[in-house]
Amino acid sequence: MGILSTSVSVTRYRVDGKLEQPIIETASERLKRYAISEMADEASEKLAGWTSFDAPFQPNFDGSSFVIGEYLVFALRIDKKNLPPKTVKKYCAIEEAKRLNESGREYLSRQEREMIEDQVVNTLMMRVPAVPNVYDLVWNYERSTVWFFTTLKAANEELETLFLKSFKVPLVRLFPYTLADLELGLSDTDRDILHNLNATSFSE
Amino acid sequence: MLDVSVSYNRYKFIGREFLTWLWFAVDTDHQGLEGLFEDPTSVDVGNRMVLENRQREAVETVTIKGDDAGLEEGRLALRKGAAVTEINIVCRRGEQQWQLTLKGESLHMTGLRCPPTGAVETKADLEGAVLEKVYLCDMIIQIVDTLFKAFVEIRLSDDWQNRVVPRIKQWIFA
């Protein structure tokens, strides 16, 4: 989901820590290290890495190319291969028939069928192109906030994992409780009350 | 702070109560809501609302959508014990308008339409458009945070049980 799309979805995070100084150089080095690679294992099902928001298929993190104003703007790209189950089933059936024909047996063991399925999946994975999905991200370094332009659960989980791995600082997702606890400047008393809240019933 | 996934599940009701309160406030105290903002800002319910009733074993979901949809069925669902889980809102400030759907348990913003940004033809335009879009997103996030902060302040005070909940019940059963 692109930041410049007419309609966007946003998940908000707090960045729980700071990068080593100098910030831009550190961010550039980490983004390059964990940038998505086109040279990855062709049999792998999924690949995720950073990319440029304005050139998602030619990542470039040289200098301050990813800095716009006071923001770090880049994207998470997730390339995923999808094998339709019916296609796997078809090639497994063909391969099983071939094995039975060659061996003259009437049936294959469960273990043999599982091995055939693994081989079929591996072979098909080499041939199927991955589908890329690009999700933009805006990092306001001064305010320690990240806006991630998708609400997809899998993409958010991938972001949280890769962000921590890349920048060594965790992201804390802002949902009602964390927003109240971390962002509203509540007193200790109010935080205690928040912590002990229970749901209200409006129907009684 | 509690573990994030534990607190997400433990306090899911906060977001639902926020959206229920927001609908109540839009319906009964428009001026009070406008008074929360330094710049003149209006908040209205948009074209979609989802309510869920989890009081029984099975989850009942009521979805109301359409630009001119009546919200009576939503109020009826509230009477039966449902809470608002998603609400589409329209916010206006001056000539600018934002429309988005807020999800209660996550506070995700989906289908966010900001005021239009300039056309992008050159690299310089691109940077300008990004800065403008970030500025517009920041404005709506600040509007939502102001509403949420107002709710939390009431929710954590004695006023919630003593004054606000009775008024919400009165509104639901009116």
Same-domain status, A38 and A59: yes
Domain presence at residue A4:
no
Query: Which amino acid, B64?
Result: I
Domain presence at residue A188:
no
Same-domain status, A63 and A23: yes
Whether residue A1 is predicted with pLDDT greater than 60 in this model: the reply is no
Domain presence at residue A17:
yes
Same-domain status, A77 and A149: yes
Domain presence at residue A178:
no
Interface residue of B102, B112, B140 to substitute, partner A, most A CBs within 10 Å: B112
Same-domain status, A143 and A75: yes
The pLDDT tens digits of the residues spanning A103-157 come to: 888 888 899 999 999 999 988 888 888 899 999 999 999 999 999 999 999 999 9
State the residue range of the domain holding A19.
Answer: 11-81+131-172
Same-domain status, A39 and A114: no
Instruction: Report the predicted TM-score, pTM, of the whole model to 2 decimal places.
Output: 0.90
Same-domain status, A50 and A139: yes
B97: nearest Cα among B21, B46, B32: B46
**ipTM score of complex:** 0.91
Same-domain status, A31 and A74: yes
Segments in chain B forming alpha helices (H)? 4-10, 12-28, 30-34, 72-79, 123-155, 159, 165-173
- Distance from the Cα of residue A37 to its chain's centroid: 15
Whether residue B2 is predicted with pLDDT greater than 80 in this model: the reply is no
Task: With beta carbons under 8 A apart, name residues in chain A contacting B103.
Answer: 151
Same-domain status, A47 and A65: yes
Asked if the bond preceding B40 is cis, omega within 30° of 0, the reply is no
Shortest Cα–Cα distance, A60 to chain B (Å) = 15
Same-domain status, A70 and A137: yes
Please state the domain count of chain A. Answer: 2
d(CA B11, CA A200): 12
Domain presence at residue A65:
yes
- Taking CA–CA distances from B84, the nearest residue in chain A reads A202
A75: nearest Cα among A15, A118, A145, A132: A132
Same-domain status, A76 and A140: yes
Same-domain status, A38 and A76: yes
* Closest in B55, B105, B129 to A175, CB measured: B105
Please state the domain count of chain B. Answer: 1
Q: Are A147 and B78 in contact (CB under 8 A)?
A: no
Domain presence at residue A198:
no
B113: nearest Cα among B85, B142, B140, B146: B140
The conformational region for residue A168 under phi > 0 = left, psi -120 to 50 = alpha, else beta, is: left
Listed residues A95, A127, A159: the one ending a domain: A127
Same-domain status, A109 and A25: no
Report, in this order, helix, strand and coil percent for chain A, each rounded to 5: 40, 20, 40
* Inter-chain residue contact B148 with A180, CB threshold 8 Å: yes
The pLDDT tens digits of the residues spanning A61-117 come to: 998 889 999 999 999 999 999 889 999 999 999 999 998 888 888 888 899 999 999
Task: With beta carbons under 8 A apart, name residues in chain A contacting B2.
Answer: 195
State the residue range of the domain holding B49.
Answer: 4-173
* Inter-chain residue contact B15 with A175, CB threshold 8 Å: yes
